[in-house]
Amino acid sequence: MKAAKKKAADKAPARQTMVKIPKPRAAPPEVKPLVEVLPGDLQNPDDFKVGSDFPWTLETAETALRHIDPGIGRDEWRKVIAGLMTQFGKTPEVKKLAIARWSEGELHGGTKPKNLDAAENERQWEGFEPGYNTIGRLYQLAVKGGWDPFAHRRQQAEDALAILTGMDDSRTIAKQTWNSILVQEREHQTLFRYGRQIARMSEEIEIFTQDALWQFLATTLTFCRMASQRIVRCDPPKTLITFIMNTPARDIPLPELMGLTRTPVIAPDGTIHAAPGYSPVSKMFHFPSVEVGPVPDRPTPGQVQAARELLEEVIHDFPFVDASDRAHTLSMMILPFVRPMIDGPTPIYFLTKPVQGTGATLLGEVATLIKTGRPLEAANAPREDDEWKKTIIAKLLMLPEFFFLDNVTRIKSEALATALTADVYEGRRLGVSEIVRVPVRCTWIMTGNNPELSADFPRRIVHVRLDAGMERPEKGRDFLHPNLKDWVREQRGRLIAAILTLCRAWVVAGSPKPADARMASFESWAEVIGGILEVAGIEGFLKTPEERKQLDDPWQQTEREFVAAWLYHLIEDRGIYQKAKSRRLFKMAQEGGLEIAHGARSAEHGEVTQFGIKLRKLRDKTFLISAIDRLETEPRPEVKVKVARKGPDGDAWWVLEVIGITIIDPVAGTETINPADDFTGLTKDMFWTGVPM
């Protein structure tokens, strides 16, 4: 019963991952049944039977004779002679082949038969008449000697554009399959390589699963196999599907696809990819969705200014805190149009605000609307890292132009941190046991009200801060365009042309790198985007004030407070706190009411053990502790310290190493560097008040 169910399941149509399917192709050519049997076990050639329609010729018979052992017995050789006579008749040509040429050893490189001389062969020939034996014994002995009688069958299958399975290894059959696919793709390219996946393009894109690939091959190519002495139609072998799906990316003979665009984009060579279809330069597939205004090939300063002012009109209504927020928003609008030019990952644009209704989601909507022409496709941030992995893979398999997360409150995800700095992301496809590797080419956008971030994210973020200075910012504000999204839809063609104009201006200027705009791990992004903004005269790129970059994890704040308290006690009593055991530091934190001492088990031993685990997370971390509650005219000490662990595991202690001390005088504009062991001018309460901060 289980076997029957499994067989039925194998025959069931595979589910597709996309709704839209390309128009069906013409029906594949039929393969006529051919009488033949597959040589399954070459160690049992006696089981072979030659088909009645086997295309025997004297040349074929000669080839078969060359594979027969010249030392065969007399009885076997008599059957061969009789079979040749039955097949071709008692003619001089057959006699010459079977008697003269065989006896002289011509068919075996001069090796003459040991027990069959020419006179004996002559007598055998004269004593037989056609019909005494069939040519089947010649067939069997030749196959035993290594003859391949099916070369013509392979040719017949190739001539019929069919793939003959069961007669070659998976590598050979896969090569034949690819050749057949490429023949079909010559006129209209629909298949591409996306990472290590096979993608099919229609108005949407479909990344093949194993089942989808099986269905595609079964409906577009012809496969056949040997069965019941015939070549018959069959389904693609499952082993072939597995082989193709595990093919390395470099061996997939399809054009590389990096994304789907509905607007023109700037290719890596600086040209505009505006023609419909696939471009091997941009590696994008273009489905035009809007009529774009004229784009000057060599923009003048006046055209650049007009383009910049039109884009600034889009963001006129938003309460940016400073110039960097405005510049970063414009860069967010430009990025998807120049993504093919950027070699590497891009950071995440984080649109933050103090209260709801400030307009962060609307800002994200209009930025994506210019590029896609579609309503915003936003999602909420998952809570667990496993859910992040599933969400990221599922989204990237859709080749998104944007990855938009709305109303984020807290981000702590190793999966997201990895995806933001990766060119290719690897994970398991949802619902199947299949590992996929897909390119990361989307524009990342998040919005949130004063969100919390783990320590992995500040260096992966481009900040856009909105603050209307109102308790309810959704009311009482004047807008240049009351219905901004409708206005953007109406002006979409002009807005796209304006963005392309700024990009072309940068290309024509020689693609200069920005004078002072660097971001680790995102160097290519900073050079391209920063260069475009600089040529366009837009200031503030990557100039976010340092104090606004600190969207730290509460745990990171707890760590800093603990180190500040440790420095407090170190200045008070260096002999006790320069080197300290976990238990002493736990008591210090507990008495100071520090959060790092909370959450442990009730027993003291268990509390100290849990505290020691937390301390291990601080190992080799460096902190810059600044003096608190200082007037603008007072000297401000800053102490750079590092948490170190010394000694063997069974008797380890912790050390707060003072690396450097700097005294900053804001009045004189000077900085004084003290030796690391010189605490002159420092008091303990400069860095911690003795109670939790």
In this predicted model, what pLDDT tens digit does every residue of 107-144 receive, in sequence order? 887 888 876 777 777 887 888 788 878 888 888 888 88
* pLDDT attached to residue 509: 96
493, 292 contact by CB (below 8 A): yes
Residue 165 or residue 321, greater confidence: 321
- Using 50, 70 and 90 to split pLDDT, how confident is the model at 13? very low
Q: What would the mean pLDDT of 162-176 be, rounded to a whole number? A: 83
* pLDDT attached to residue 458: 81
Half-sphere exposure at residue 210, Cβ-oriented, CA atoms within 13 angstroms: 19
Beta strands in 604-635 (DSSP E): 622-626
Phi, psi angle pair for 102, to nearest 5°: -70, -50
| Alpha carbons 168 and 275: distance in angstroms, whole number | 43
Element counts in the chain: helices (H) and strands (E) = 23, 25
| Alpha carbons 75 and 44: distance in angstroms, whole number | 19
User: Exposed, middle or buried by CB within 10 Å (0-12, 13-18, 19+), for 377?
Assistant: middle
| Alpha carbons 210 and 621: distance in angstroms, whole number | 47
Tokens matching residue 618:
């601080």
* pLDDT attached to residue 437: 87
How many percent of the chain have pLDDT more than 90?
33
Q: Are strands 435-439 and 424-428 parallel, antiparallel or unpaired?
A: antiparallel
Residue 394 or residue 10, greater confidence: 394
* DSSP alpha helix (H) spans, 260-373: 301-314, 323-338, 360-372
- Using 50, 70 and 90 to split pLDDT, how confident is the model at 49? low
231, 36 contact by CB (below 8 A): yes
| Alpha carbons 514 and 203: distance in angstroms, whole number | 38
672, 665 contact by CB (below 8 A): yes
CA-based nearest residue to 438, from 422, 453, 451: 422
| Alpha carbons 219 and 28: distance in angstroms, whole number | 8
| Alpha carbons 268 and 524: distance in angstroms, whole number | 12
| Alpha carbons 586 and 579: distance in angstroms, whole number | 13
How many percent of the chain have pLDDT more than 70?
85
Half-sphere exposure at residue 217, Cβ-oriented, CA atoms within 13 angstroms: 30
User: Exposed, middle or buried by CB within 10 Å (0-12, 13-18, 19+), for 687?
Assistant: buried
Maximum average pLDDT range among 365-369, 407-411, 559-563: 365-369
DSSP string, 465-508: EB--SSSSTTSS---SSSSHHHHHHHTHHHHHHHHHHHHHHHHH
125, 99 contact by CB (below 8 A): yes
Of 47-61, 63-77, 335-349, 670-684, give the lowest mean pLDDT range: 47-61
The residues with which 265 forms a beta bridge, in sequence order, are: 273
198, 208 contact by CB (below 8 A): yes
CA distances 52 to 37, 76, 77, 147, 495, Å, are 11, 21, 22, 18, 74
* pLDDT attached to residue 543: 92
pLDDT tens for 541-593 read 999 887 776 655 555 677 888 888 888 888 888 888 888 888 888 888 888 77
Residue 692 or residue 52, greater confidence: 52
Computed over every residue of the chain, the mean pLDDT equals 83
The pLDDT of residue 194 is above 70: yes
* pLDDT attached to residue 267: 96
The pLDDT of residue 680 is above 90: no
Half-sphere exposure at residue 680, Cβ-oriented, CA atoms within 13 angstroms: 5
| Alpha carbons 128 and 547: distance in angstroms, whole number | 107
Q: Using N-to-C axis directions, what is the helix angle for 360-372 and 492-508, rounded to 10°?
A: 80
**b/e map 587-600, b = 16+ CB within 10 Å:** bbbbebebebbeeb
Q: What would the mean pLDDT of 1-13 be, rounded to a whole number? A: 48
Residue 562 or residue 693, greater confidence: 562
Q: Are strands 443-449 and 402-405 parallel, antiparallel or unpaired?
A: parallel
CB atoms within 10 A of CB 548: 14
* pLDDT attached to residue 103: 80
User: Exposed, middle or buried by CB within 10 Å (0-12, 13-18, 19+), for 509?
Assistant: middle
118, 103 contact by CB (below 8 A): yes
631, 690 contact by CB (below 8 A): no
Specify the long-range contacts of residues 58-65, CB closer than 8 Å, at least 24 apart.
58/88, 58/93, 58/94, 58/97, 61/87, 61/88, 61/97, 61/135, 61/138, 62/97, 62/107, 63/142, 63/147, 64/138, 64/139, 64/142, 64/147, 64/149, 65/97, 65/98, 65/102, 65/107, 65/138, 65/142
Angle (nearest 5°) at CA 376 between 375 and 378: 150
* pLDDT attached to residue 362: 93
The pLDDT of residue 620 is above 50: yes
